[in-house]
Amino acid sequence: MKRVKVAPSLLAADWSRVGQEALDVEKAGADLLHLDVMDGRFVPNITFGVDMVKALGRCTELPLDVHLMIVEPEKFVEGFAKAGADTITVHAEASVHLHRLLEMIREHGVKAGVSVNPGTPLGLVEPVLSMIDLLLIMTVNPGFGGQTFIAGMEQKVKAARKLLTAHHSAAELQVDGGVNADTAPCLIRGGASILVAGSFVFGHQDRAVRIRALRG
């Protein structure tokens, strides 16, 4: 079995020194840097935008994994692509024209991800599975770090793995929300290939210890 990748979410970092925090998790063995973009509309919180992503790209060599929790994501694809995003993940719930949006992301030479909230059925993304590089299963309601993993979501991760296999998809299966050393083993067994973790990684002085703990 392939080693699971770990994507620390910068949301839980010390924002007075984000550049150093990014570098710290890079040195600690992270595989990707997960960047949560929130607009106060799709989710009840506001974080940062294109310029922050651009600045972080100057601080770390890690691939930038941009998770857009915004309405009208099509307006910002070009900006985030130019800012150096390696992957742009959009929410299926946020776009009326998901197919077109994913095409747009790929046309910019960026990997395309699609995400579903806990209450959204996987069937919503089935028609676009052949177009994506990453499927993100939210295991908390998006908007804030430090929330508790929603019980039962491990079944959805398993179902997502089955769906990708059935479609012969090589897309990454990413899980985000409440991921820690207790929830990770079951998610890995269920077929997750990337674990996003904010508070679990950044909430400890030694991030390498936490990243290793997630890999099991």
31: annotated active-site residue: no
List 147, 150, 186, 189, residue binding ligand DX5 (CB under 6 A):
147
User: What is the 8-class DSSP label of residue 84?
Assistant: T
Cβ-contact 145, 9 below 8 angstroms: yes
Count of residues interacting with ligand DX5 (CB under 6 A): 21
Q: Shortest Cβ distance from residue 181 to ligand DX5 (Å)?
A: 12
Show the tokens assigned to 196: 């996003």
Count of residues interacting with Zn ion (CB under 5 A): 3
User: Which string of DSSP letters, residue by residue, matches 87-154?
Assistant: EEEEEGGG-S-HHHHHHHHHHTT-EEEEEE-TTS-GGGTGGGGGG-SEEEEESS-TT-SSPPPPTTHH
3-class DSSP state for residue 196? Answer: strand
3-class DSSP state for residue 175? Answer: strand
| Binding positions for ligand DX5, 4-43, rule CB under 6 A | 9, 11-12, 34, 36
Q: Does 67 bind Zn ion (CB under 5 A)?
A: yes
86: annotated active-site residue: no
- Catalytic machinery residues: 36, 176
List of residues contacting Zn ion (CB under 5 A) = 36, 67, 176
List of residues contacting ligand DX5 (CB under 6 A) = 9, 11-12, 34, 36, 67, 140, 142-143, 145-147, 176-179, 196-200
